[in-house]
Structure 1
Amino acid sequence: MSDVKHISLPAQEIPVSREVDVVVVGGGASGIGAAVAAASNGARTLLIEQRGFLGGMGTVSLVPAFCPFTDKEKPIIRGIGMELMERMKEACNADYRREYADTLDWVPIDPEALKRVYDDALLESGVEPLFHSFVYDVIKSGDGRSIEGIVVVNKTGRSAVRCSYVIDATGDADIAALAGVPFQKGGEQGELQPGSMCYLLANVDRGRFRRFLEESGDTGQLHRTVERAIAEGALPEGRKSISGLAWVNDYLVGVNFGHVFGIDGTKAEDLTRGAIEGRRLARRQLAFFQNYVPGFEQAHLVASGEQVGIRETRRIQGDYVLTAEDFMEARTFPDDIARNAYYIDIHMAHSKANMHFTHLKPGESHGVPYRVLLPLGIDNLWVPGRAASSDRAVQGSLRVMPNCFAMGQASGTAAALALRDGVGARGVEIGELQRVLLEQGAWLGEPAPSGSSARGI
């Protein structure tokens, strides 16, 4: 028996504030890709974001770099995602542009430049953004097979938005869950990958840090420095490598280091604890850098993430579940809408566990079929991003920003085609979807899937 108390609220009429073709919920990489694609292909598109800016983990949580856009031989994530990353480079200073002009993997993020780039991309494509807003509920059709609208809550009040199609780009499948879509969460015991509190350090000396690494003559020097700090009590047990130093310039570096355990990103209470613990951990890590790492003696913590970075929550049950076997065998599907080569990257659920990595060979990638975006039971909803339909291992690969851009672009393009043809998500003609994606810069492998007349069923 639950001891949760309940109250009943009186029935209320709420105004319809907007009527649009496509609602995109969530302004991270998948939501930006989806909204820009839908609007660029002719759909009246509204993007709803709970913060006052776009970018998701890359700006809200200060994840310091874009994960790879290549398979270590060629770019495989192209289209909207790559274009936006290149626009961010152009928005940075001359030194940054010179250093990273030809870089496509692990490109450092300048969060303020990126926010402005995303703003401009949405407005240029005709998307209507609505910030500082949450989706409170969904309005389903009488048969329960489609979403006819959503209920939005913000400082203005409560209102309904009527729409023909919805793209759930929340990263946590929030809209799908509200609509009753089945999902899985975490591992067999409910364990979740940890969160990370990322941050920016200023007043660092990159030249001195480089000399420290070069003079040691050993790429493992920084790893051993972390191990020594843990042994001496300067750092807590946990992650022993600093893999996430992203140099925006010679005196400013983004840091992804360490874990906050036991955080479920679908629970406000956990996010609250994660924020507090994450800031405390960042302060402890700052002292470690100042005392143990040459070049960081005068480092100053200028910003930490508004929210602890989240790697894993819900995974929807879709028309197809992408598996580790699909990943390892680099499979191609007739309904591919993207390719992925990022390694399986599962972080430990507690401080004494191990991290797991599984890589494809350089030049290899696997297909991401359209069906993983289609949640069971709902006909006009797509779920791109880290909540797409996959097993837990593949989620550890699909979850990164370049893949989210690609799945988002496919979802938004599909929504615009569905609108044009008056069909549901499963009625989109796959060959036409693939043709439009290719025309708009995406890469689906060589040769591209034929598509023929298959549909998304």
Structure 2
Amino acid sequence: MQHAQHNNTPAPFSFPGGLDDLKAQVLVVGAGAAGVSAAISAARTGADTVLIEGAGFLGGISATLPWLGFHDREYRQVVKGFAAECVDRLAASGHASGYVFDPKCGSLASLDSHMWKCLAMELAQAAGVRVLLHTQCVDTIREGDRIAGVIVHHKSGFQRILADVTVDTSGDGDVAARGGVDWEKGRTADGLVQAPTLVFRLGGLNRTAFVAACKDPANIYREWFRENPALFDKFTSHLDSISTFVLGGFAALIERARAAGDFLSPQTRIVGVKTHADDEISVVMTRVLGLDPTDVQSMSNAYAKVYEQIPPLVAFFQKYVPGCEQSRLVEIAPMLGVRESRRIMGDHVLTMEEMVEGVRHPDGVAMGGYHIDIHRPKGTWVESHNVQAYTIPLRSLIARDVDGLMMAGKCISATHEAIAGTRVIPICMAEGEAVGVTAAFAALHGSDVRSVSVSAVQDRLIATGAELGQSLGGPNHAAIESFGQLPMEEPPTEGDCDPVSASETAWV
């Protein structure tokens, strides 16, 4: 696989026709977290908006697992706006935990994924978004240097959808790639992308026994506490009272199971989230290496491998993990969690250094504070770098060298390392909200997206509740004292090219 892949102008698609063209001011391709946010934001701003999605529901990966990264390492809420509106609505109806602080992830919110799908559809309908489900984008319509829309296939056949502004929230940069727009994929050294995961949920947990195991310092249930025993004591004092918390440890249990022949997956830690449901855990441990998320055979092989891993992982929890003796498989996510795919090259490429330094760009339209969390493309566990609250510039959401194309989600213009911090659900939603407003302004005023007033976009976002740094304030000292804070500089984690991931069975 090449370390970076750029387009050549693709061969034109032979359009069979048969259906009238569908026209919109804003077209959003892909209804994951970023796409839902972009479409609803554009429609609320007054643009006629179409949202297309290949699955039969809205939300994508955001409808499969808890949401991490609303707050930064100083426990300040850097993501508000539409993402916070959704959490608040679900929490008010008893279907989400609300925000729970975490010293590595800033915060998380556990929610009923099915109720989120219902809410996403309700909000899209209320905003007037025209939603087309089970609709696949098969080609991009390019007129000179302008992206004019896409060709789709659905139950009614092939159809052209024309738009003033098209937003690529496909996760894979499909619109850009098929429209001859520059993109890159994977890390510079070898082109490998972050390892993907198929999430599943276990029910039947004995919460009391499981929490007791987490509080036992011998288990090191969070790897980040290994070098910070005082922080471990401080945070675990909350485990009996908080409804949800992150898992990332128990390495000794896995090694014991591996020695007994009961653990074959290329994973060295229990990774997941104790959800707000008392008896459930969301497990994020299936893993394959060498995935090319833009290749159908590679994706199909990856699915085969992760489905093969799930039964032994369930058995591992039942046999080795305290409190999970009576646990059972209750749900497998409907789609693989692909952490990295094509990254569309934009007017600015966001870097890890900008995030670590906490750069506030003049055209910042979204904020982030989640750590750079690279699920190693060639190894187990993760590589992590803490960051300071930063902004994502509008220039990273506008595709380079073309008009009429914007992007949000994990295909924004960023490096391999930077995407590992911006790819989490709340930040993707903040990007989507900003893109939706910008695209709507451009369409409503008959201008290209680069001519839209950045200050007008920022004012609109702030007026609708987004955080762009205007009300961030200083560190939340009370939360730091209560929950603890990891040092900015941490010891490097291990795992790349380790024996567990070197096995040929780990690769697709």
- Report SS of the residue matched to 1:201: strand
Which of 100, 121, 137 lines up with 1:103 in the alignment?
100
Q: CA offset at residue 237 of structure 1? A: 5.2
- Does residue 439 in structure 1 map to residue 463 in structure 2? yes
Name the structure 1 match of 2:279: 251
TM-score (ref. length: structure 1): 0.89
* Whole-Å separation in 1 of the counterparts to 2:82 and 2:285: 29
Which of 427, 447, 450 lines up with 1:403 in the alignment?
427
Using a 3 Å threshold, how does the CA distance of structure 1 residues 77 and 227 change in structure 2: closer, same or farther? same
* Whole-Å separation in 2 of the counterparts to 1:318 and 1:214: 46
Which of 422, 427, 441 lines up with 1:417 in the alignment?
441
* Contact 1:16 1:162 (C-alpha < 8 Å) held by counterparts: no
Q: CA offset at residue 223 of structure 1? A: 2.5
- Report SS of the residue matched to 2:270: coil
Unaligned runs of 5+ in 1: 1-6, 449-457
* Whole-Å separation in 2 of the counterparts to 1:10 and 1:420: 31
1:74-223 mapped onto 2 (5 Å cutoff): 74-92=76-94, 100-103=97-100, 105-141=107-143, 144-188=144-188, 189-214=190-215, 218-220=219-221, 222-223=250-251
Q: CA offset at residue 211 of structure 1? A: 2.5
Q: CA offset at residue 149 of structure 1? A: 2.6
Q: CA offset at residue 233 of structure 1? A: 2.3
User: Letter of the aligned partner of 1:127 in structure 2?
Assistant: V
1:219-230 mapped onto 2 (5 Å cutoff): 219-220=220-221, 222-230=250-258
* Contact 1:245 1:254 (C-alpha < 8 Å) held by counterparts: yes
Using a 3 Å threshold, how does the CA distance of structure 1 residues 11 and 194 change in structure 2: closer, same or farther? closer
* Whole-Å separation in 2 of the counterparts to 1:394 and 1:49: 26
Q: CA offset at residue 58 of structure 1? A: 2.2
* Contact 1:332 1:366 (C-alpha < 8 Å) held by counterparts: yes
* Contact 2:98 2:110 (C-alpha < 8 Å) held by counterparts: no
Name the structure 1 match of 2:374: 346
Name the structure 1 match of 2:5: none
* Whole-Å separation in 2 of the counterparts to 1:275 and 1:306: 11
Q: CA offset at residue 216 of structure 1? A: 5.8
The more displaced of 219-228 and 431-440 is 219-228
- Does residue 19 in structure 1 map to residue 23 in structure 2? yes
- Report SS of the residue matched to 1:243: strand
Which of 415, 426, 441 lines up with 2:450 in the alignment?
426
Name the structure 1 match of 2:406: 382
* Whole-Å separation in 2 of the counterparts to 1:357 and 1:183: 25
User: Letter of the aligned partner of 2:280 in structure 1?
Assistant: L
Which of 262, 266, 279 lines up with 1:238 in the alignment?
266
- Does residue 66 in structure 1 map to residue 67 in structure 2? yes
Q: CA offset at residue 53 of structure 1? A: 0.3
Q: CA offset at residue 258 of structure 1? A: 3.7
Unaligned runs of 5+ in 2: 1-10, 102-106, 222-248, 473-508
* Whole-Å separation in 1 of the counterparts to 2:90 and 2:167: 25
* Whole-Å separation in 1 of the counterparts to 2:165 and 2:455: 21
Using a 3 Å threshold, how does the CA distance of structure 1 residues 215 and 383 change in structure 2: closer, same or farther? closer
* Whole-Å separation in 2 of the counterparts to 1:236 and 1:294: 20
- Does residue 318 in structure 1 map to residue 318 in structure 2? no
- Report SS of the residue matched to 1:249: coil
Name the structure 2 match of 1:453: none
Q: CA offset at residue 236 of structure 1? A: 2.1
Name the structure 1 match of 2:499: none
Q: CA offset at residue 230 of structure 1? A: 2.3
* Whole-Å separation in 2 of the counterparts to 1:9 and 1:376: 23
* Whole-Å separation in 1 of the counterparts to 2:12 and 2:353: 48
Which of 391, 395, 408 lines up with 2:415 in the alignment?
391
The more displaced of 129-138 and 241-250 is 241-250
Name the structure 1 match of 2:235: none
Which of 49, 55, 66 lines up with 2:53 in the alignment?
49
Q: CA offset at residue 127 of structure 1? A: 0.6
Q: CA offset at residue 57 of structure 1? A: 1.0
Name the structure 1 match of 2:504: none
* Contact 1:197 1:260 (C-alpha < 8 Å) held by counterparts: no
* Whole-Å separation in 2 of the counterparts to 1:447 and 1:54: 31
Q: CA offset at residue 151 of structure 1? A: 1.0
* Whole-Å separation in 1 of the counterparts to 2:13 and 2:470: 57
* CA deviation profile, 1:329-359 (whole Å, cap 9, x unmatched): 21111100011111111111234x5621000
**What number of residue pairs does the alignment pair up?**
428
Percent of aligned positions that are identical: 30
The more displaced of 103-112 and 270-279 is 103-112
Name the structure 1 match of 2:298: 270
Q: CA offset at residue 229 of structure 1? A: 1.6
